[in-house]
Amino acid sequence: MSTNLLNTDSLPYCKGCGHDLIAKHTTKALEKLNYKALDVIIVTDIGCHGIIDKCLNTHTVHGLHGRSVALGAGIALGLNHPDKKIIVFIGDGGATIGLQHILEAARLNLNMTVMVHNNMLYGMTGGQTSGLTPYGFRTTTSYDGNPFGGYDLCGLLQSAGSSYACRILGIGDISDKLAVAIGTKGFSLAEVIEICPGFGMKLNPKRKLGEIAESSGRKPGEWINRRDKFEMPVTKKTNNLFERAPLIKKEFTHYLKQKTTILISGSAGEGIQLAATILSKASMRSGLSVTQKGSYPVTVGVGFSAAEVNLSDKHIFFHGITQPDIAIITSEDGLAYAKQRIKQMQNGMLIIDTSLEKPITKAEIVERDFRMVGAKYAALYAILYYALKTGVISTEAVFKTLDQEGLQDKFPLALIKDALVK
């Protein structure tokens, strides 16, 4: 069967795989509805069905496992074009991994269609049980038959508010049934029951699709809600998000001779990221190009906190730092995080709190008691000391930034100024 949306009749599936049927009849249904190839965006998930991408003439997006519906939802929210069609291909494994994405898209009634390739197991990874595996169906992880019943996906979608859901047996010409789902305004889903020839047939010999669906209480049918499709509310639109960012004008002179990379490393909760931001904005006020990137554990408020800052008098096209020119270390956590990179420094400067053990490095080591002003203020003291020590930017640019950000009362600036001149 040749269609304008497929570039080959020979699809990359095992012989007898229902994925072949779904792909060919989805494209046939689209043509019945007069969709052209470039009117269609197909988002595929991880799984055997996902290898269809190269065979499609449509726009295609390949997602992460269980996330294809979320990607499709993003496209639906951003694409204000009623003549285009968003279709998501996903397996039963991906559908249960990303079940919340499906339910949210149904709840919002986004204008998209999901095709669930339900072969009742994880076909690509070895035939394991999925959340849609029926009770009693045998898989490689349930040789005696699945002891649990699978989700009633269509029932869940009806309660979530989808415009349309259907369950279809993957036998014969299903294009008309798929066309109903595709032609629905709002969220629609077609759950196509099929069987994997590699695992499902071998582990469940002589069982028929109709009998499996019947015995598991998952009969074919339709579930309908009479709802309008989602319409994006009219709000103020910003074409350029940079327009919202306040312009930082040059007010001071810099004395940077070459691009400089700075690693600031300390403890979470001690203002490392804020200090890096102040340094960055002060450098911008001095006419420099700047990038800033933060690193810290997933559990916020514990362990290290580090920031990487690039300073240059030219445009910066890569924000990464392999080896810092300047390392500023204010705590034990920060030293533990940065020790290996400090060890690799062949030159440059290490500015480190006096309470810390001096690490092995070929960089010039400068010690200072930053924590004497308080742990929460040590990082700010350290960047002011960096400015004073190197002269790259002025301390006045830092103090002006604190003033402009409304932070002058949040720091013991008198104490820090006294410490700087000692």
395 and 340 together in one domain: yes
Across the range 176-205, mean pLDDT stands at 95
List of residues 6+ apart from 122 with CB closer than 8 A: 47, 91, 93, 128, 129, 130
262 and 209 together in one domain: no
Does residue 76 surpass a pLDDT of 60?
Answer: yes
323 and 273 together in one domain: yes
The edge-to-edge listing of strands for the beta sheet with 59-62 is: 59-62, 40-44, 85-91, 112-118, 187-193, 164-169, 221-224
Tokens 């071998």 found at: 202
Distance CA 196, CA 203 (A): 10
192 and 252 together in one domain: no
The residue that leads in pLDDT, 302 or 142, is 142
Instruction: Let me know: does 110 contact 71? Beta carbons within 8 Å.
Output: no
Instruction: Tell me the pLDDT tens digit for each residue of 99-137.
Output: 999 999 999 999 999 999 999 999 989 999 999 999 999
220 and 106 together in one domain: yes
Q: The domain spanning residue 25 has which CATH number?
A: 3.40.50.970
Q: Which helix (H) or strand (E) holds 67?
A: none
50 and 198 together in one domain: yes
Task: Please check whether residue 91 lies inside any domain of the structure.
Answer: yes
In degrees, to the nearest 5, what angle opens at C-alpha 84 toward C-alphas 185 and 50? 95
Instruction: Tell me the pLDDT tens digit for each residue of 34-54.
Output: 999 999 999 999 999 999 999
Domain around 98: 18-224
Give the per-residue pLDDT at 300: 66
List of residues 6+ apart from 24 with CB closer than 8 A: 1, 3, 6, 11
The secondary structure of 129-159 as a DSSP string is --TTPPTT--BTTBTT--SSPPP-HHHHHHH
Instruction: Tell me the pLDDT tens digit for each residue of 387-411.
Output: 999 999 999 999 999 999 999 899 9
Task: Please check whether residue 241 lies inside any domain of the structure.
Answer: no
344 and 218 together in one domain: no
Instruction: Let me know: does 89 contact 42? Beta carbons within 8 Å.
Output: yes
Distance CA 198, CA 144 (A): 18
220 and 272 together in one domain: no
46 and 192 together in one domain: yes
267 and 191 together in one domain: no
Instruction: Let me know: does 224 contact 163? Beta carbons within 8 Å.
Output: yes
Give the per-residue pLDDT at 3: 64
Q: The domain spanning residue 370 has which CATH number?
A: 3.40.920.10
Task: Please check whether residue 239 lies inside any domain of the structure.
Answer: no
Task: Please check whether residue 229 lies inside any domain of the structure.
Answer: no
The residue that leads in pLDDT, 159 or 82, is 159
270 and 415 together in one domain: yes
Task: Please check whether residue 312 lies inside any domain of the structure.
Answer: yes
Task: Please check whether residue 240 lies inside any domain of the structure.
Answer: no
Task: Please check whether residue 59 lies inside any domain of the structure.
Answer: yes
Task: Please check whether residue 5 lies inside any domain of the structure.
Answer: no
40 and 122 together in one domain: yes
Number of domains in the chain: 2
- Point out the least confidently predicted range of 136-140, 225-229, 388-392: 225-229
